Amino acid sequence: MTWETTTATFRILGRDETVLRPAFTMEFYGGDELLSHGPRLFEKLHGLVPEGTPLHVIGKKGVEYKPLTPRRLSRLRKTMETLATDGQFYAIKDAEGFEVGGYSIELHLSEWASSRVMVALPLSFVQGREQAAYEVFEDFVATFPFHVATAGYGFHLEWAREGEMAGEPVEIRAGLRFHGLMIRNRMQESFLRKQLKSAHWLTFVHDTIAADLGGSATFEGLDGVDTTAVSHGVLLRAGEAPPVGDTESHAPDLAPMKAVNDALRAIRIVEWTEGCNTLYRLDAQAANGWLTRMDTP
């Protein structure tokens, strides 16, 4: 078993759809201050997808993905300019139906819940071009007022209950072996304005959060970790390339990420919030074990 071959399928409407696929993921969390950045944020996210790639979109009131035609794209951009206080949600990907495809953007902008952006990109986005991927992430966290953000290896999980039912057990089992991977739990993510599920290859914290953690001294001297001050926060890079952290090989690449994870202990959740432990067919102890996987020697 290798993590790069980890997938999950779900049979629906007579077809087997891939609802979970390995990816390079970026997660950004903030509050209602992101509402005013909607148009610019959307354009920067849209620019991650190669020009001319056919896309499909579903909104918060949608029941199925529809082609992102020029007309729909124009309407979407208009809603970004006039965001109501209850915010907006769009999921955009480059595949039809329940198939996950290679590119995915989930944009949640809200006044009452966490505003967050979840991005899944092909592994080719980072493999062999790690510095370029780092600079893309750095640009996002330097431009927009996120509270916390992470990037590294993880999974593209289909936005649909069926996809989550089939995909979540698979991704968490992979995450319990490969400690460098990020896993998804959409219900929990709606609460994460200033908290993290885990550190990752790249981890950003806003200046105010860094100050609460003890200031820049907290991150000085972490072995293998590069620390960069950006416009309103601190960006931590745990190694030159994203770690996989295969525990069956003693996870030789994981030490820098574990050091960051330890430094951020005060803002990490260590168990899923009640009602958010929807990692189907796994007990709570196993699911919580992923959150604390790097806390043991």
Which band of pLDDT confidence, cut at 50, 70 and 90, is reported for residue 46? very high
> What is the extent of the structural domain holding 103?
3-291
Identify whether 166 is part of a domain. yes
Dihedral sign from CA coordinates of 200, 89, 16, 185: positive
Which band of pLDDT confidence, cut at 50, 70 and 90, is reported for residue 192? confident
Portion of the chain with pLDDT greater than 90, in percent: 58
Largest pairwise CA distance in the chain: 57
Which band of pLDDT confidence, cut at 50, 70 and 90, is reported for residue 36? confident
Q: What is the pLDDT of residue 68?
A: 95
Helix (H) or strand (E) holding 72: helix 70-81
Instruction: Give mean pLDDT, residues 100-105.
Output: 94
Least confident of 36-40, 96-100, 285-289: 285-289
Which band of pLDDT confidence, cut at 50, 70 and 90, is reported for residue 210? very high
Q: What is the pLDDT of residue 283?
A: 66
Tell which wins on pLDDT, 187 or 209.
209
For the cut 60, the answer to whether the pLDDT of residue 181 exceeds it is yes
Nearest to 59 by CA among 34, 36, 42: 42
Which pTM does this prediction carry? Answer: 0.94
Q: Residue 287, Cα to own-chain centre: how many angstroms? A: 18
Identify whether 74 is part of a domain. yes
- Average pLDDT of the chain to the nearest whole number: 89
Q: What is the pLDDT of residue 206?
A: 96
Identify whether 182 is part of a domain. yes
pLDDT digits (tens, 9 = 90+) for 126-173: 999 999 999 999 999 999 999 999 999 999 988 877 778 888 888 888
Identify whether 297 is part of a domain. no
Nearest to 153 by CA among 242, 45, 64: 242
Q: Are 65 and 51 in contact (CB under 8 A)?
A: no
Identify whether 296 is part of a domain. no
Number of domains in the chain: 1
Helix (H) or strand (E) holding 59: strand 56-59
